[in-house]
């Protein structure tokens, strides 16, 4: 197979870059439960790719299938063009950082990091040099002789990283590696992980349920739910142009409004709210006149003004001061509620007070019609 494809690329004269990982129609069943319902995705070389979703969405299952800890039910997984789905984990050139680190408790930090190299039968000098380099990389050079139990959670996390990177994998799999750390450390590690990925050029496949983690670190994100991939895209794309209700709701906060499509234009459509107001929404997928759907509007894209300044009017029911922002919950005249968020940047800015009538100004580009 490798022969054919190389022939083709040579003939055409263009070098088609092989994806680091290519997952094709992968299905995983546990008895009667289907954990993955036909997932397909391609992860590029040198990419920081995140599988994001709530618990039980199949993200960890997909990672474990790539690592080889679970047997695939149907489908194919390719690593740089080679089918690996049938190989046992110890023959797959990928390494994993485990959620609870899974460090070998009876070995020192250095022995943990050296384990992969030992199994690969590398020479003593090569192993020693590599272990020292890895421990320096994660800033644990002074801890080589300690046992994992003598380290803090953050340090154990670094040992797990060093251990997984020591054999020099092309792809590193990370299973919620930050979830056991406290908030400050987690935030610091986000930056470090991203830096590490850029410095080493290793492809990272990162599993998390934390959308903030995903948005801050990833080149691309696959949002998963219920055993299916909902949307794949960059942070900006997924946040600003969610394809469906699940993605819009899961990533950040949003207002979901029931609408009826009145007119369809190129990339946009006219939607009528139950109260009668009509607004222009951008649309990603296909839609048709008369379609009953939802629009998503992010709270920070809604401005609050005195009556008469916008097209939607309502009463402010709650006002929550959040420091940098103020959150307003507005009851529209048709009974639906909308959340708006205004920045507290200007002391002089005039916004209606609690209980007063308000007019909502919505950025036209901020209204997104969802497929379902």
Partner 1 sequence: MAGAIGGGRSVSGVYRPVRRWLLLPSWLVIGFFLLAPVGIMLVYSFLTKEFRGGVIWEFSLAAYDQFLFDRGIFGDDPPTMEWTYINIILRSVIQAAIATLVCLIIGFPTAFFIATRPPETRTIWLFLITVPYWVNLLIRTMSMKFLIRDNGPLNEGLMALGLISEPLPLVNTDLAVQLGLFYSYLPFMVLPIYAAVERYNFALSEAAADLYADRWTILRRVVLPAVAPGIAAGCILVFVPSLGAFLAPDLLGGAKNWMIGSLIEDQFKGAAGNWPFGAAASMILLSMVLVALFFYARSQSREQA
Contacts with partner 1 by CB under 8 A lie at 67-69, 88-91, 94-96, 98, 100, 102-106, 115-116, 119-120, 163-164, 167
Nearer to partner 1, 82 or 317 (CB): 82
Phi, psi of 351 (to 5 degrees): -125, 150
Q: Which long-range contacts (CB under 8 A, 24 or more apart) does 29-34 make?
A: 29/73, 34/227
Q: How far is the CB of 97 from partner 1 (least distance, A)?
A: 9
Nearer to partner 1, 122 or 291 (CB): 122
- Residue 85 or residue 281: which is nearer to partner 1 going by CB? 85
Cβ proximity to partner 1: between 119 and 320 the closer is 119
Please give the Cα distance from 134 to 175 (Å, whole number): 20
Q: Are 229 and 238 in contact (CB under 8 A)?
A: no
**Cβ contact 26:38 at 8 Å:** yes
Q: How far is the CB of 104 from partner 1 (least distance, A)?
A: 6
Q: Which residues contact 249 (CB under 8 A, 6 or more apart)?
A: 256
Nearest to 202 by CA among 175, 239, 173: 173
Minimum CB distance to partner 1, residue 175 (Å): 10
In angstroms, the Cα distances linking 155 to 35, 144, 149, 308 are: 33, 11, 10, 58
Nearer to partner 1, 61 or 96 (CB): 96
Q: Among residues 104 and 363, whose Cβ is nearest to partner 1? A: 104
Least Å from the CB of residue 163 to partner 1: 7
Q: What sign does the dihedral 92-27-207-70 (CA atoms) show?
A: negative
Cβ-based nearer residue to partner 1, 168 or 284: 168
Question: Which are the contacts of 280, defined by CB distance < 8 A and separation ≥ 6?
Answer: 268, 269, 270, 271, 364, 367
Please state the three-class secondary structure of 135-166 as a single string: HHHCCCHHHCCCCHHHCCHHHHHHHHHHHHHC
């Amino acid at each position: 197979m490798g022969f054919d494809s190389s022939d083709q690329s040579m003939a055409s004269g263009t070098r088609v870059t092989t994806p680091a990982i290519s997952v094709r129609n992968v299905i995983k069943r546990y008895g009667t439960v289907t954990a993955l319902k036909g997932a397909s995705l391609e992860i590029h070389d040198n990419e920081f790719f995140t599988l994001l979703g709530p618990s039980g969405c199949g993200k960890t299952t997909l990672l474990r299938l790539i690592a080889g800890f679970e047997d695939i039910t149907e489908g194919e997984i390719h690593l740089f063009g080679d089918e690996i789905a049938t190989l046992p984990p110890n023959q797959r050139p990928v390494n994993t950082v485990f959620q609870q680190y899974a460090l070998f408790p009876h070995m020192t930090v250095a022995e943990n990091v050296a384990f992969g190299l030992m199994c690969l039968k590398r020479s003593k000098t090569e192993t020693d040099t590599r272990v020292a380099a890895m421990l320096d990389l994660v800033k644990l050079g002074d801890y080589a002789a300690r046992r994992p139990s003598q380290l803090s959670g953050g340090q154990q996390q670094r040992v797990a990283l060093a251990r997984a990177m020591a054999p020099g994998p092309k792809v590193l799999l990370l299973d919620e590696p930050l979830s056991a750390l406290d908030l400050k450390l987690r935030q610091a590690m986000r930056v470090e992980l991203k830096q590490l990925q850029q410095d080493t050029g290793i492809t990272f496949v990162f599993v998390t349920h934390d959308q903030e983690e995903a948005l801050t670190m990833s080149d691309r994100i696959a949002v998963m739910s219920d055993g299916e991939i909902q949307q794949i895209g960059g942070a900006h794309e997924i946040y600003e142009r969610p394809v469906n209700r699940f993605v819009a709701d899961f990533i950040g906060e949003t207002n979901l409004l029931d609408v009826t499509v009145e007119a369809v234009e190129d990339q946009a459509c006219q939607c009528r709210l139950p109260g009668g107001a009509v607004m222009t929404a951008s649309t990603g997928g296909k839609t048709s006149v008369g379609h009953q759907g939802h629009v998503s509007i992010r709270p920070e894209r809604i401005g609050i003004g005195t009556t008469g300044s916008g097209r939607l009017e309502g009463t402010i029911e709650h006002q929550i001061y959040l420091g940098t922002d103020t959150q307003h919950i507005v009851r529209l005249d048709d009974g639906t509620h909308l959340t708006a968020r205004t920045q507290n940047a200007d002391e002089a800015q005039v916004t209606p007070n609690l209980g007063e009538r308000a007019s909502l100004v919505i950025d036209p580009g901020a209204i997104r019609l969802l497929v379902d």
